Amino acid sequence: MKTLDDFDVAGKRVLVRVDLNSPVENGVIQLSARIREHAKTLKELSDKKAKVVVLAHQGRKGEEEYLESLEQHAKLLSGQIGKEVKYINYLFGSDVTKAIEELKEGEILLLKNTRSWDGETESLTAKQHAKGSFVEVLKPYFDLFVQDALSVCHRSHASVVGFGYVLPSCAGRVLEAELKALEKVSEKIERPFVLILGGSKPADYIALINKYLEEDKVDAILSCGLFGQVCLIAKGIDLGKQNAFLEGKGAMDVIFDVKKVIDKITAPVDLAVKKDDKRVELKLDKFPNDYEVFDIGSKTIRQYCKILSDAKTIFLKGTPGYYLWPEFSKGTLKILKKIGKAKAFSLVGGGDSSAAVEMFEIKGINHVSLSGGALLRYLAGKRLPGLEVLESV
């Protein structure tokens, strides 16, 4: 795959797909690691005197975090780059092409949320998207397409696959760094390799676990978060009231698949439940009960930290517990701290996990990925249309 080192961008018009999708609080976009990291790629292109046009999305149409305008993102990017990022509230059409034509060397222009146009998310192939109006209209204006976000590469959306199909294209710095880090937890794993899976979406993990086990590449799989609870149920433990919660979350849909590999997975030996709004830790023989579970217990934390001490490679996806609530942040905090201090190569992925790394100011983790779904799919060996299109040119 080509990178920015393979192109001389001075004076060239460069179209860059980044992922600025960030948390929204009361309509206000929060400065995120994604905005900070992609700003560096844009700054590099600007410093090299490219004329830079940026494509990005925010949320999904019809969902709470969707914003049609990316004006706030442009302001946040400007703050990071130390230079104005222009914004135009159109995606294509004469206003956009005029603004592109007027761009001077080093200038950066962000376009409207790509998902404001319904054609963006239509389920089409790269070839089909390349024939759509968006790509057809804009492609004559560009010399190069740069894909900077692994986090969108699992989507066969127009802005992700269409331009790469018809323009010279390459990986931006963020994508380059992500792929380099991922190599160390896929093709070039130093053993022992410890995988820690937590969070609230166990369904995402099955393909990944099966792949690592089939290829005999993993030495320990430590389960926590809702996934850890599903693993306990797979081992025949009745969690009582928590069972219904897991079912409501759809976490139990994978129980059949989890049971098939449960003897290869380490499950928690104690859990922290909420009792009168306080953290109370209970051993497994205290279940079933009527309490809700919010974290792994101290004995589990100690046991997992010991296993992490011997690791040469660590990959964590999903937090061990509900870290936003101080009573229940212990598991997440201790495990992340341990990973930061470990001598191993460490990679942490997923939105909540990376937010926790930032919130607790954890130092020493080798790579904090900006991706969630795309990362898991990549590691499970599934195809990522956004990467395929870069490899094909």
Tell me which residues touch Mg ion (CB under 5 A): 373
Displacement of CA 207 from its chain's centroid (Å)? 17
Smallest distance, Mg ion to C-beta of residue 297, A: 30
Binding segment for ligand 3PG (CB under 6 A), chosen from 102-110, 150-158, 166-174, 200-208, is 150-158
- Whether the link from the prior residue into 192 is cis, omega within 30° of 0, is yes
Which of Mg ion, ligand 3PG, none does 21 bind, CB closer than 5 to 8 A by kind?
ligand 3PG
Q: Does residue 377 touch ligand 3PG according to CB under 6 A?
A: no
Q: How many CB atoms lie within 10 A of CB 238?
A: 12
Alpha-carbon distance 95 to 105, whole Å? 19
Smallest distance, ligand 3PG to C-beta of residue 380, A: 16
Considering the complex, state which of residue 59 and residue 373 has its C-beta at the smaller distance from Mg ion: 373
Per-residue x/- track, 6-35, ligand 3PG (CB under 6 A)? -------------x-x--------------
Smallest distance, Mg ion to C-beta of residue 354, A: 13
Total residues at interface with ligand 3PG (CB under 6 A): 8
Q: Which residue in the set 219, 286, 373, 393 belongs to the binding site for ligand 3PG (CB under 6 A)?
A: 373
Q: Does residue 43 touch ligand 3PG according to CB under 6 A?
A: no
Whether the CB-CB separation of 290 and 241 falls below 8 Å is answered with yes
Smallest distance, Mg ion to C-beta of residue 198, A: 17
Q: Which residue in the set 38, 51, 155, 367 belongs to the binding site for ligand 3PG (CB under 6 A)?
A: 155
Task: Please state, in angstroms and as integers, the Cα–Cα distance from residue 21 to each residue in 32, 83, 272, 281, following that order.
Answer: 9, 21, 33, 37
Which of Mg ion, ligand 3PG, none does 60 bind, CB closer than 5 to 8 A by kind?
ligand 3PG
Sign of CA dihedral 1, 3, 162, 385: positive
- Give the residue ranges of DSSP H helices in 215-294: 225-234, 241-248, 255-261
Binding segment for ligand 3PG (CB under 6 A), chosen from 135-143, 149-157, 292-300, 336-344, is 149-157
Question: CB-based contacts of 24: which residues, under 8 Å, 6+ apart?
Answer: 30, 58, 59, 64, 65, 67
Alpha-carbon distance 365 to 357, whole Å? 9
Using DSSP bridges, classify how beta strands 108-110 and 51-55 pair: parallel, antiparallel or unpaired: parallel
Overall residue count recorded for the chain in this entry: 393
Q: Does residue 61 touch ligand 3PG according to CB under 6 A?
A: no
Q: Does residue 152 touch ligand 3PG according to CB under 6 A?
A: yes
Q: Does residue 66 touch ligand 3PG according to CB under 6 A?
A: no
DSSP state at residue 115: G
Q: Which residues here bind ligand 3PG, judged by CB under 6 A?
A: 19, 21, 60, 151-152, 155, 372-373
